[in-house]
A and B are shown apart, each in its own frame.
Chain A
Amino acid sequence: MHRSLGDFLMDLFQNAVEAGATQIRVEVRQDSSRLHLVVTDNGKGMTPEELRRAQDPFYTDGRKHPDRKVGLGLPLVIQTLEGTGGEFALESRPGEGTKVRAVFNLEHWDTPPEGDWSVVFTQVMAWPGSHDVELVRAWGEGKDHGYQVSRQDLVEAVGSFEDVEALMLLKEYFRSQESMEDGK
């Protein structure tokens, strides 16, 4: 169903926004065989019971998708990771926030393709709301190789993210940052 790892990131990111977070940290770190997605937010968090339910594919509160009987987001990530030798960790404290860590095994045949990160990051940054996003991108084992940018920085540079020109520039910006990987 999901076509790329970027789709999973979008899901995790949207959960953070939906939890009312004002600060969201998105980390995408990649080495030769693994891709780490870590999304940390200061949203409403979950109680242990909510945490358990959130990971249960057969539980849904039925509010959001009246036509659909199964929640998709987290169970889908978990299912994909389980079948491909990945790792999943979810930590949450009510009133404090949530941290989701998904590590994809890039060497497994059934791991979805990465997708186009410039497109994904553009859409993450342009997602409506007044929250801030800190994007941390890294290649290799250490964090020395990569880049970091916040939504606030980008808002200051381009103003609104809603017009075609701003969205094109945002994507070009990420394309140029992502191309740093080629120079490694």
Chain B
Amino acid sequence: MTLQELRAMREAGKKAMDRRIIEDKTIEIVVGMGTCGIAAGAKETLDAFIEELASKDIKNAVIKQTGCMGFCHSEPTVAIHMNGMPDIIYGNVNAETARQIVHSHILEKRLVDKHVFDRPAKDIVKEN
């Protein structure tokens, strides 16, 4: 693939996206990719999010990498921000859990309880 081909594919993808009804809800996924996260498999976690979101055709998601989030003991950690769900930090997220988060948290709006590492106080967590 040349850079020109890459550019052409990107432009074709953008056109197709414009034609679809774009949901205004944006999903932001932040994966902790510091040395400790990487040692715990964060590269595979990040890649699993990309693959799973692409295969579910979820286009309104942004995936970002960040350095150590300070939770070295429960890496890989992942923060998810999206409308209709509280901001959540998940811990010990391997590729399998990443796929589970896409299914439950993002698509069905259900928390993946076993991996919730941090969340806002209970009274401000909206029940869905």
Question: CA–CA, A149 to B67, complex, Å?
Answer: 24
Q: Known contacts A164-B58, A169-B10; decide if A1 and B39 are in contact (CB<8 Å).
A: yes
Chain B's nearest CB lies how many Å from the CB of A33?
25
Asked whether B7 lies within 8 Å of A158 as measured between CB atoms, the reply is yes
A123 within 8 A of B: yes
B82 within 8 A of A: no
The 8 A CB mask of A1-28 against B (1 = contact, 0 = none) is: 1111011001100100010000000000
Question: CA–CA, A159 to B67, complex, Å?
Answer: 22
Q: Known contacts A10-B33, A163-B59; decide if A157 and B68 are in contact (CB<8 Å).
A: no
Asked whether A168 lies within 8 Å of B50 as measured between CB atoms, the reply is yes
Contacts of A122 on B, CB cut-off 8 Å? 47
Asked whether B61 lies within 8 Å of A163 as measured between CB atoms, the reply is yes
Residue with the highest number of chain B CB atoms closer than 10 Å, among A6, A66, A166, A177 = A166
Chain A interface, number of residues (Cβ within 8 angstroms): 47
The 8 A CB mask of B5-41 against A (1 = contact, 0 = none) is: 0110110010001000000000000000111101101
B53 within 8 A of A: yes
B121 within 8 A of A: no
Contacts of A162 on B, CB cut-off 8 Å? 62-64
Choose, from A39-47, A67-75, A137-145, the stretch at the interface. A67-75
Chain B's nearest CB lies how many Å from the CB of A41?
16
Dominant SS at the A interface? helix
Contacts of A14 on B, CB cut-off 8 Å? 33-35, 67
Contacts of B36 on A, CB cut-off 8 Å? 65, 68, 72
A51 within 8 A of B: no
Q: Known contacts A164-B58, A164-B63, A165-B13; decide if A149 and B38 are in contact (CB<8 Å).
A: no
Contacts of B73 on A, CB cut-off 8 Å? 67
Chain A's nearest CB lies how many Å from the CB of B89?
15
Chain B's nearest CB lies how many Å from the CB of A170?
8
A167 within 8 A of B: yes
Question: CA–CA, A167 to B39, complex, Å?
Answer: 22
Contacts of A169 on B, CB cut-off 8 Å? 6, 9-10, 13
Closest to A11 in B: B35
B70 within 8 A of A: yes
Chain B residues with a Cβ under 8 A of chain A: 1, 3-4, 6-7, 9-10, 13, 17, 33-36, 38-39, 41, 43, 46-47, 50-51, 53-54, 58-59, 61-68, 70, 72-73
Sample 13 A-B pairs with CB under 8 A, ordered by A number. A3-B41, A10-B38, A14-B34, A64-B34, A65-B36, A123-B47, A123-B65, A153-B3, A156-B3, A162-B62, A164-B63, A168-B54, A169-B9
The 4 closest A-B pairs by CB, nearest first: A176-B1, A157-B7, A157-B6, A72-B35
